[in-house]
Chain A
């Protein structure tokens, strides 16, 4: 399987040209070297998740029940989606403090459209996302054209946008959110058979794509992973996807007379967004330019990239994703109130992105980081809630986790610059 033999499409290599980590052992060593050099990726999040699961399951035996696991997935949904949006602005080294309340404002609009104007769920959703996009456009323009630090612009928007639901709902009021489809995202489940079919399709699709990619890259003599690593990745993905499907397909109703089973509808929404944004980030020119602007804005400008447009688009994407996140949060609670999105949501999301491996300093991050980090962050209030702790503990722990994630990021960045990975 040596790829160093030249093939027709790559006739002339250069000396030392290395196209493949020869064995799976070599790639493991590469990975360890990257870890030592401070390139942690999602490792802290995975370790954190294992740690939290161990702690909470030892303190409360209801934590590991399938009922609670399904709950965790639903609770994590809105955090993950918000964090996915935040990843885009973090990639540029910017921040969006207003994303949480932008989600609240958008959810208010969606609820109003459903209740007062009898719009169908998808028209209302589009209106909400459009509101988010407009907010992002305004923030992005102010940041990139006037050069105001994003911290200040989005802090102003954080304050100002809280006025929207307060004005539209009135203080102390709330809007019910009981559209069958939108509310169903949180309280209904994919039929078990359909869930299994989708899970198997995802695994088969991933396996086929990875193997096809491996074959075409190695045939053309391009840089590629060893076959062993490709297989390991497929096996891990299959285990996670099929394992979760099995877990969620069992009847999880606390009362055996009822039947609650199947994957909550939130999960397919999150997976679709994950696939879409992963494609955008890794396979399109826009994604490449986003990383370039985050890594070295001056280099990107000299390379002819429209830095202004990239920045504005990042904020538009962030706020639009915030709108979807606000929708999922409203779907979970069943109502929109003036305080929606003004609480912990934003810090949860930033914490999720950072703990998942996205850098606060720009240039590093993936959509997947939001999913892994979002699960970690959602586990904290879920587990603490089961322990009946006073809510001040929740604030303390979440603040501590955010600080810890940011410290890991800062330290690994310093190690990276000294190790040059």
Chain B
């Protein structure tokens, strides 16, 4: 298997006395969709925020393209080419699609904004992702459906030639047809060679697009396996009990000493 684009090794994180992540290893490979699954409180969000640079680590290494890197904030992570699409999307309703995609990174020409470049690049990006449902790139985001908004948020993330995109529950609030669009988009991102991390509760989505599955159980990695080697029920067991047959954590971490 190819070298991982991004790798976390032995990451620990505590909030006060609560030990949230125990020696977590996590890897993202280029051209693959890695699903991060786990029950509520398993540490998925904490792990994502550590990758995004919002939280620091208590111990452990952060490797990017095989080299150790120091990240001190979201800007460092963005500079590496890692983009996070949060569940609440972080779009401004009162701005149009182009304005949202370039928010905070507007192109300028002379004194003013370079709308020509921005609109052309936004259009190219949407076209390259084969987006079909958006009427005009100058549509205000308030007028978009949930799936279209998710599409814009993802397009915003790939606009910057990012290498890794993390998607936090991208289909949680979507209907069937819109979920279909977003999952297709997720697959296309990976086919373009990006490393994609999909955080999801929905096993159907996970098995449909994921190449690898990393299951977290009470802050530990219960399993990191190719999606084709496990079944639906095995993953559910890993999420709920931390083990399934010979997969998973050997001792019961609930009773283990912390």
Question: Which A residues fall within an 8 A CB radius of B?
Answer: 9-19, 216-217, 220, 222-223, 279, 283-285, 288-289, 291-292, 294-296, 298-300, 302-305, 363-364, 416-417, 420-421
Contact = CB atoms under 8 A, between A and B. Distances in A.
A288 B106 contact: yes
B99 interface: yes
Interface of A is mostly: loop
16 contacts: A11-B124, A12-B123, A13-B123, A14-B123, A14-B134, A16-B134, A17-B137, A18-B136, A222-B115, A285-B113, A288-B113, A292-B104, A295-B93, A299-B92, A304-B78, A364-B94
Contacts of A292: 92, 95, 99, 103-104
Contact of B136 (A12, A19, A220, A299): A19
A-B pairs with lowest CB-CB distance, top 3: A303-B104, A295-B92, A295-B94
B108 interface: yes
Interface string B88-118: 1111111100010001111010011101100
Interface in B133-168: 133-138, 140, 142-144
A143 B54 CA distance: 25
B103 A299 contact: yes
Given A14-B130, A303-B104, A305-B103, A223 B140 contact: no
B131 interface: yes
A420 B93 CA distance: 9
Contacts of A291: 92, 94-95, 99
A283 to B, nearest CB: 4
A223 B136 contact: yes
Contacts of A417: 142
Interface of B is mostly: loop
A417 B142 CA distance: 8
B238 interface: no
A14, A15, A364, most chain B CB atoms within 10 A: A14
Interface string B61-86: 00000000000001100100000001
A94 B138 CA distance: 27
Contact of A9 (B105, B115, B120, B134): B120
A296 B91 contact: yes
B119 A303 contact: no
B128 interface: yes
Contacts of B106: 285, 288
Nearest to B117: A9
A222 B133 CA distance: 18
B36 interface: no
A216, A298, A300, A302, most chain B CB atoms within 10 A: A302
Contacts of A279: 112
B132 interface: yes
Interface of B: 74-75, 78, 86, 88-95, 99, 103-106, 108, 111-113, 115-116, 119-120, 123-124, 126-128, 130-138, 140, 142-144
B143 A223 contact: no
B123 to A, nearest CB: 6
B127 A14 contact: yes
A10 B123 contact: yes
A67 B81 CA distance: 65
Contacts of A289: 104
A216 B116 CA distance: 9
A387 B111 CA distance: 49
B147 to A, nearest CB: 14
B162 to A, nearest CB: 14
A288 B99 contact: yes
Given A10-B123, A303-B103, A17 B90 contact: no
A279 to B, nearest CB: 7
Nearest to B93: A295
Given A288-B103, A292-B103, A364-B94, 12 more contacts: A18-B136, A19-B136, A217-B116, A220-B116, A222-B120, A285-B113, A288-B95, A294-B94, A299-B90, A299-B92, A302-B74, A305-B103
A13 B116 CA distance: 15
Nearest to B121: A10
Nearest to B90: A299
Given A14-B134, A222-B120, A303-B104, A421 B142 contact: yes
Contact of B132 (A12, A16, A18): A16
B99 A12 contact: no
Given A292-B95, A299-B92, A421-B143, A10 B120 contact: yes
Contact of B93 (A12, A19, A217, A363): A363
A239 B247 CA distance: 79
A421 B112 contact: no
A300 B90 CA distance: 8
Contact of A363 (B88, B94, B137, B138): B94
Given A13-B123, A18-B136, A299 B91 contact: yes
A296 B93 contact: yes
Nearest to A302: B90
B94, B119, B143, most chain A CB atoms within 10 A: B94
Contact of B105 (A10, A217, A303): A303
Contacts of A222: 115-116, 119-120
B111 A284 contact: yes
A363 B92 contact: yes
Nearest to B108: A285
A296 B132 contact: no
A222 B128 CA distance: 17
A12 to B, nearest CB: 4
Nearest to A417: B142
B92, B131, B140, most chain A CB atoms within 10 A: B92
